[in-house]
Structure 1
Amino acid sequence: MAKLAFLGLGVMGYPMAGHLKAKGHDVTVYNRTASRADAWVADHGGARADTPRQAVAGADFVMACVGNDDDLRSVCLGQDGAFAGMAEGAVFVDHTTVSAAVTRELADEAGGAGIGYVDAPISGGQAGAENGQLSVMCGGAQADFDLAAPVIDAYAKICRRMGDVGAGQMTKMCNQIAIAGLVQGLSESLAFAQKAGLDVEKVVEVISQGAAGSWQMVNRHKTMAAGQFDHGFAVDWMRKDLAICLAAADEIGAPLPVTALVDQFYKDVQAMGGNRWDTSSLIARLTR
């Protein structure tokens, strides 16, 4: 069992940190809103700290799951940041979806202090975090990954090293690119079925058994058809991720025409007041 710190207790980080504690690890948590950390300690035990630096004192591993590039910098850098308090040989594992640029920047900072760095973005949504069934795609030195993987297994269905630092984030971009087109296609299919006067349940029962089937179809078609969009990953966060994808695509010369189009569709959803709706809300554009 290891001594751990977990930085960021949002809808993903809160249950992930809980799985680590349930596995017997010694866990200290930090969250920008302290009441959230207090609630986690009340639920799971362990300890909370007032700053990232205090949280990571003596930790073998530090996990972070925050919002964006700036949030990650804020918990890593500066006098009260994690890097200032981590011991040489400790490993920092970043579960945030951020740009490859900030990943390289922070990995360089960590390396200069003798700290291992693994970028390890996650997929599986709130349900995956709560059930300990996340897909974790990692980048970093093989030795750092080998140390971190048994700890990550506490909440992972699959955990794979994809390459050196940054490869995890690039793989997460592949994930978001695939999801964007898939959810738009499913939205159009369900909206078409409704307008055609078909029984949506019967349609999904049939087509989900063939080539059109997907996790999104099986798990989200009912709520999408009912206009219920309170199931996890928010549109604002998806647009943040797609902006990262599109910027990286420009950098490497990869055309993403469908992703760019769906990003604009999510912009339409935001204009409808759907900033905090989950990503399946693309159907709302088609049925309003």
Structure 2
Amino acid sequence: MAKLAFLGLGVMGAPMAGHLARAGHEVTVYNRTAARAEAWVAEHGGHHAPTPREAAEGAQFVMSCVGNDDDLRQVCLGPDGAFAGMADGAVFVDHTTVSAAVTRELAAVASEAGLGFVDAPISGGQAGAENGQLSIMCGGAQADYDRVEPVLAAYARICRRLGDVGAGQMTKMCNQIAIAGLVQGLAESLAFAQKAGLDSDAVVEVISQGAAGSWQMANRHKTMAEGRFDFGFAVDWMRKDLAICLAAGDEIGAPLPVTALIDQFYKEVQSMGGGRWDTSSLIARLTR
């Protein structure tokens, strides 16, 4: 059992930190809104701290799951940042989906301070976090990964090291690129079925057993057909992720024409007031 800090208690971070506490680790949490950290401690035990630095003091591993590049810099750097409180040899594990550039930037700062750094973005959504069934894509030194992997098992369905620092973020980009295309394909299929007068449940029952089957089809077809999107991974966050993907594609010379198009479809959903809707809301622009 380890002494841990967890920074960021949103819809993903709070249940992830909870799994660490239930696994028997000593967990100190930090959240920008202190009331959320206090509520987490009331439910799970452990401690909460007023700054990332204080949360990280004495921790063997510090996990973060925040919003974007700037949020990550804020919890890592400066006199109140986690790096200032971490002891030599401790490992910082970032679960946020951010750019590979900020990952490498912060990993370099960590290295200079004698700290390990593993980028470990996650996939599986809120349900995956709550059920401890996340896919974790890691980048970092093998020795750092080997130390942290048994801890991540508390909420991992699968956890793999893909390469050096930044490899985890690049793999998460592959994940988001694939999801964007899958959701749009499913949205068009369901909208087509509705306009053709077909029973969408019956259609999915048949086609899901063949080559068209996917996690998105199994888990989202009913709510998509019913126009329910008040859950899951928000469109605003998906657009943030797709912007990272498109920028990286330009940098490495990887064309992403479908991703770019679907990003614009999500922009249209935002204009419909759906910024906080689940990403499956792509169907809304086809059925309004």
TM-score (normalizing by structure 2): 1.00
Q: Which residue is equivalent to 1:171?
A: 171
Q: Which residue is equivalent to 1:49?
A: 49
- The AA in structure 2 aligned to 1:287 is T
| CA distance in 2 between partners of 1:218 and 1:143 (Å) | 38
Q: Which residue is equivalent to 2:144?
A: 144
| CA distance in 2 between partners of 1:220 and 1:209 (Å) | 15
| CA distance in 1 between partners of 2:32 and 2:287 (Å) | 38
Q: Which residue is equivalent to 1:217?
A: 217
Q: Which residue is equivalent to 1:182?
A: 182
| CA distance in 2 between partners of 1:37 and 1:218 (Å) | 34
| Equivalent residue runs for 1:58-97 within 5 Å | 58-97=58-97
The Cα shift of 1:230 comes to 1.7
Could you report, residue by residue, the CA deviation over 1:194-248 in whole angstroms, capped at 9, with x for unpaired residues?
A: 0000000100000000000001101110000000002211000000000000000
For structure 1, the 5+ residue unaligned runs are: none
For these two proteins, the number of residue pairs brought into alignment is: 288
- The AA in structure 1 aligned to 2:59 is A
The Cα shift of 1:251 comes to 0.2
Identity %: 84
Secondary structure of the corresponding residue to residue 5 of structure 1: strand
Secondary structure of the corresponding residue to residue 230 of structure 1: coil
Secondary structure of the corresponding residue to residue 117 of structure 1: strand
The Cα shift of 1:149 comes to 0.3
Q: Which residue is equivalent to 1:7?
A: 7
The Cα shift of 1:151 comes to 0.4
- The AA in structure 1 aligned to 2:161 is R
| CA distance in 2 between partners of 1:233 and 1:201 (Å) | 23
Secondary structure of the corresponding residue to residue 114 of structure 1: coil
- The AA in structure 2 aligned to 1:281 is S
The Cα shift of 1:258 comes to 0.2
Secondary structure of the corresponding residue to residue 233 of structure 1: coil
| CA distance in 1 between partners of 2:22 and 2:33 (Å) | 23
Secondary structure of the corresponding residue to residue 154 of structure 2: helix
| CA distance in 1 between partners of 2:180 and 2:232 (Å) | 15
| CA distance in 1 between partners of 2:14 and 2:147 (Å) | 22
For structure 2, the 5+ residue unaligned runs are: none
Q: Which residue is equivalent to 1:193?
A: 193
Q: Which residue is equivalent to 1:30?
A: 30
| CA distance in 1 between partners of 2:69 and 2:160 (Å) | 23
Q: Which residue is equivalent to 2:21?
A: 21
Q: Which residue is equivalent to 1:274?
A: 274
Q: Which residue is equivalent to 1:117?
A: 117
| CA distance in 2 between partners of 1:160 and 1:25 (Å) | 22
TM-score (normalizing by structure 1): 1.00
Q: Which residue is equivalent to 1:229?
A: 229
Q: Which residue is equivalent to 2:104?
A: 104
| CA distance in 1 between partners of 2:73 and 2:153 (Å) | 25
Secondary structure of the corresponding residue to residue 206 of structure 1: helix
Q: Which residue is equivalent to 1:249?
A: 249
| CA distance in 1 between partners of 2:43 and 2:124 (Å) | 23
- The AA in structure 2 aligned to 1:18 is G
Q: Which residue is equivalent to 1:128?
A: 128
| CA distance in 2 between partners of 1:57 and 1:93 (Å) | 15
RMSD, aligned α-carbons: 0.3
The Cα shift of 1:91 comes to 0.2
Secondary structure of the corresponding residue to residue 97 of structure 1: coil
| CA distance in 2 between partners of 1:257 and 1:65 (Å) | 29
| CA distance in 1 between partners of 2:183 and 2:251 (Å) | 25
Which segments of structure 1 move beyond 2 Å, counting only runs of 4 or more? Answer: none
Could you report, residue by residue, the CA deviation over 1:262-285 in whole angstroms, capped at 9, with x for unpaired residues?
A: 000000000000000010000000
| CA distance in 2 between partners of 1:80 and 1:33 (Å) | 16
